[in-house]
Amino acid sequence: MPESATLINGSTEAKSLTHAVAENVALLRQQGITPGLAVVLVGDDPASAIYVRSKVRKTEAVGMRSFCHRLPSNTPQAALLDLIATLNDDKDIHGILVQLPLPPHIQRDAVLDAISPEKDVDGFHVVNAGKLAIGRTDGMIPCTPLGCLILLRRVLPVLSGLHAVVIGCSNIVGRPMARLLLNEGCTVVLTHLQTRDVAAEARRADILIVAAGHPRLVRGSWVKPGAVVIDVGINRITTPTGPTIVGDVAFDEVSVHARAVTPVPGGVGPMTIACLLQNTLEAARNITHKVSPI
C-alpha cells in the first residue's frame, strides 16, 4: 500500500495546456483568424462576477478576443435570447458561454438550447450532451470533466478496463464525467444522493471522481489502496482559523490510501478554465475549418 499519494498538480497541467493553446492561437492568427469568446453574465452574483473576470483575463492572455456582456438581474429572458441569437450570427465570435446560475425568472434550459451547438464551449447544449452520451467524439465536452480526464491520463495512461466510480450526477460534472469514462472503456458506476451505500461503491473504485459539493465527504476508509482520486469539490467553509476552501475529499486521510490525488485548491479548478480556452480554440478551428495540430 502506498504510504503517501502522488499529488496531481492541476496548476502545472493547466499552465502547460494554456501555453499550448496560446501557441495555436498564434498560428491561427497568422491565418487571419482570431478566436473570440463571448461571456454573458446576468445579475450581480459576486462569485459569478469573479469567475467572469478571470475568464476574460485568461482569454485575452492567450491572444483570443474576449466579448463580455454584463446584463442586469431583471433582464427579460427574451432579451437574453435575442443577445444569444446575435452572438450566434457574429462571425468574430467562436465560443459563447452564459455564466450559471441564472436569475430564477430565466429558464436555464431555454438559454442553453439557444446557443449554437458549434459555439457551445461549455458543452451543455443538448446536442453536445447527446453526442457524448452516444460516444461520438465530434461534440464539445464540458470543461470540468474534460480537465479531470486530462489529469487522470497523467497518472493512468490506459483507462480501459478500470473500474470508475463517480460521486455526484449533475449535468455539469458527474453525468458527462461518467460518459467520458465509459467512452474510455472504463466500467462506470454513477452514484448520487439516493445511492444506498456510496462508501461501498467507492471502495471498489480504481478511479474515484468526487463532485458532490459536500466538504470532506470521502474519508480514507472509502478509498481502495492504490486508487486514483480526483476531487472536483469547491466548498467554502469557516474553521477556527478563518474561512477556507476545501474539497469533497478528506485529503489528509485519502492521501494515505490513494496512489494519486488532486488537491483543492490547485487541482481540478485551474484545469476547468484551461479547458474552456482549449474548447474555444477547437470551436474556432471547426467553424473556420482551419486545422493545425496541438
Which residues participate in catalysis according to the annotation?
55, 99, 122
Looking at 55-63, 80-88, 153-161, 189-197, which segment touches ligand NAD (CB under 6 A)? 189-197
Nearest to 60 by CA among 37, 84, 78, 85: 37
Looking at 24-32, 119-127, 151-159, 193-201, which segment touches ligand NAD (CB under 6 A)? 193-201
Interatomic CA distance for residues 204 and 259, integer angstroms? 14
Question: Which residue among 170, 187, 286, 288 contacts ligand NAD (CB under 6 A)?
Answer: 170
- For the beta carbon of residue 118, count every other beta carbon within 10 angstroms: 19
Regarding 234 and contact with ligand NAD (CB under 6 A), the answer is: yes
Question: Which residue among 36, 123, 145, 174 contacts ligand NAD (CB under 6 A)?
Answer: 174
Alpha helices in 8-166 (DSSP H): 10-30, 46-61, 77-89, 108-114, 126-133, 143-155
Looking at 23-31, 151-159, 172-180, 238-246, which segment touches ligand NAD (CB under 6 A)? 172-180
Q: Provide the mask over 254-283, with x wherever binding to ligand NAD is found by CB under 6 A and - wherever it is not.
A: --------------xx--x-----------
Nearest to 87 by CA among 107, 102, 65, 106: 65
Regarding 217 and contact with ligand NAD (CB under 6 A), the answer is: yes
| 59/272 with CB nearer ligand NAD | 272
Q: Where are the beta strands (DSSP E) in 152-241?
A: 163-167, 187-191, 207-210, 228-231, 235-239
| 65/214 with CB nearer ligand NAD | 214
Interatomic CA distance for residues 104 and 231, integer angstroms? 29
Looking at 53-61, 90-98, 206-214, 222-230, which segment touches ligand NAD (CB under 6 A)? 206-214
Nearest to 250 by CA among 285, 283, 217, 214: 217
Regarding 212 and contact with ligand NAD (CB under 6 A), the answer is: yes
**Taking the alpha carbons of 27, 148, 151, 16 in that order, is the dihedral positive or negative?**
positive
Positions touching ligand NAD (CB under 6 A) are 144, 167-170, 172-174, 191-193, 195, 198, 211-214, 217, 232-235, 268-269, 272
